[in-house]
């Protein structure tokens, strides 16, 4: 075991962790290229045993990995050559410069269309135009995560794409929940607003604090009257550096030419993943052979009676979300009881309420 200390978005995190185990040498991808979830650098173990490591039967591991690879689709506006290259190369191989230039342009357009998944409703929309409102500041933060003014590095591309896959899975669950109740407009939607959608480093802080009972529930005062207005305490304003991406900006005395893959990887991977105790991990920590745990933090306005449907859809989406903390209208809830809420058609269950969801996604690594 070894002692480590990292700073995640201004939060100092100290812990003791084994360094995990090394993936098998010569591992090749199954069906599709291994993505950013294997970008953590291999390390020699300080101890041959790691008490926190989880072991799955190999056939189960392979099945889960293959299922997730089917869901991990690169943006459709990338060239066939790009897709063929990624399918033929594992996640630790440097992406050719021409493909990195291509991705830099293509992903901007792709990310700008994320709102289409949920039929995003603009803040100045009238009538039945659009279904789900999405905080402009939060939506802009996600766009900024894939906006580079210089050619991105391979690790930046793979981790940014991993974030997009996670966001798309969550947005798909929101859309499915609304479809299940035959939503026709914003006013009869099961889920009416996204205040915050965070994964990786931004979510890591919220999940860690909630696990310690110190969560800052940022949507306590959010109610139906706030719809159509973006809160001042947006994610970007609370913690502008927590997204972890350069977005064309660099720290003092660090120019684009001096950036290295190793330096950027360390910055992006510190606090990106958590362990089963919900603690942010150091950049080189790999406590689990089979997967990385990507933290998730979502703030929504939801009809409470539809919460079981949302939780079920999150659990069964292509990248399943394991919900660990839940708060409804300012009150902490047990996830198991929320799955069996009995409001039925009562007026309390119909009234939209702020809901905060924290959890994690198991991103399976390429099996040996």
CB 75 within 8 A of CB 40: no
**pLDDT at residue 183 in the model:** 87
Angle made by CA atoms 169, 221, 120, in degrees to the nearest 5:
35
What is the Cα–Cα distance from 348 to 335, expressed in whole angstroms? Answer: 19
Cβ of 48: how many Cβ atoms within 10 Å? 7
H helix or E strand, kind and range, residue 264: helix 261-269
Nearest Cα residue to 14 out of 359, 280, 283? 280
Domains of the chain, residue spans: 2-364
What's the pLDDT score for residue 51? 43
pLDDT at 189: 93
CA 106/CA 110 separation, integer angstroms? 6
Is the Cα dihedral 33, 323, 142, 268 positive or negative? negative
Write out residues in the chain with pLDDT < 50, as ranges: 1-52, 219-221, 223-229, 231-255, 342, 344-345
pLDDT of 332 reads 79
Q: What is the DSSP letter of 247?
A: T
DSSP 146-199: T--SSPPPHHHHHHHHHHHHHHHHHHHHHHHHHHHTT--SGGG-SEEEEEEEEE
Element (H, E) at 100: helix 97-112
Give pLDDT tens digits for 146-195: 999 999 999 999 999 999 999 999 999 999 999 999 888 898 999 999 99
pLDDT of the residue at 215: 55
pLDDT in tens, 333-344: 777 655 655 454
What is the per-residue burial (b if ≥16 Cβ within 10 Å, else e) of 283-292?
bbbbbbbbbb
């Amino acid at each position: 075991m070894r002692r480590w200390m990292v700073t995640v978005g201004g939060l100092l995190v100290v812990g003791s962790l084994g360094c995990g185990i090394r993936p098998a040498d010569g591992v090749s991808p199954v069906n599709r290229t291994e993505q950013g979830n294997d970008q953590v650098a291999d390390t020699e173990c300080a101890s041959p045993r790691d008490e926190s490591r989880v072991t799955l039967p190999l056939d189960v591991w392979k099945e889960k990995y293959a299922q997730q690879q089917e869901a991990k689709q690169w943006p459709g506006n990338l060239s066939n050559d790009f897709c063929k290259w990624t399918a033929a190369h594992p996640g630790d191989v440097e992406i050719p410069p021409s493909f990195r230039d291509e991705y830099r342009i293509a992903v901007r357009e792709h990310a700008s269309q994320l709102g289409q998944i949920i039929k995003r409703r603009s803040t100045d929309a009238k009538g039945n135009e659009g279904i789900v409102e999405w905080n402009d500041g939060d939506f802009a933060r996600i766009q900024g995560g894939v906006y580079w003014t210089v050619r991105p590095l391979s690790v930046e591309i793979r981790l940014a794409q991993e974030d997009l896959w996670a966001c798309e899975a969550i947005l798909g669950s929101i859309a499915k929940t609304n479809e299940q109740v035959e939503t026709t407009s914003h006013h009869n939607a099961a889920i009416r607003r996204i205040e915050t959608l965070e994964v990786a480093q931004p979510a890591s802080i919220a999940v860690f604090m909630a696990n310690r009972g110190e969560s800052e529930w940022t949507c306590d005062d959010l109610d139906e009257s706030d719809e159509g207005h973006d809160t001042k305490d947006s994610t970007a304003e609370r913690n502008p550096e927590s997204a972890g991406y350069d977005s064309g900006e660099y720290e003092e005395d660090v120019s684009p030419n001096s950036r290295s893959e190793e330096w950027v990887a360390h910055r992006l991977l510190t606090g990106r993943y958590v362990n089963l105790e919900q603690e942010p991990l150091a950049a080189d920590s790999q406590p689990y052979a089979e997967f990385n745990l990507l933290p998730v933090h979502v703030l929504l306005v939801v009809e409470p009676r539809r919460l079981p449907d949302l939780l079920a859809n999150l659990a069964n989406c292509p990248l399943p979300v394991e919900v660990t903390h839940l708060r409804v209208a300012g009150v902490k809830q047990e996830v198991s009881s929320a799955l069996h809420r009995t409001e039925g058609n009562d007026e309390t269950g119909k009234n939209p309420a702020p809901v905060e969801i924290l959890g994690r996604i198991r991103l399976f690594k390429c099996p040996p």
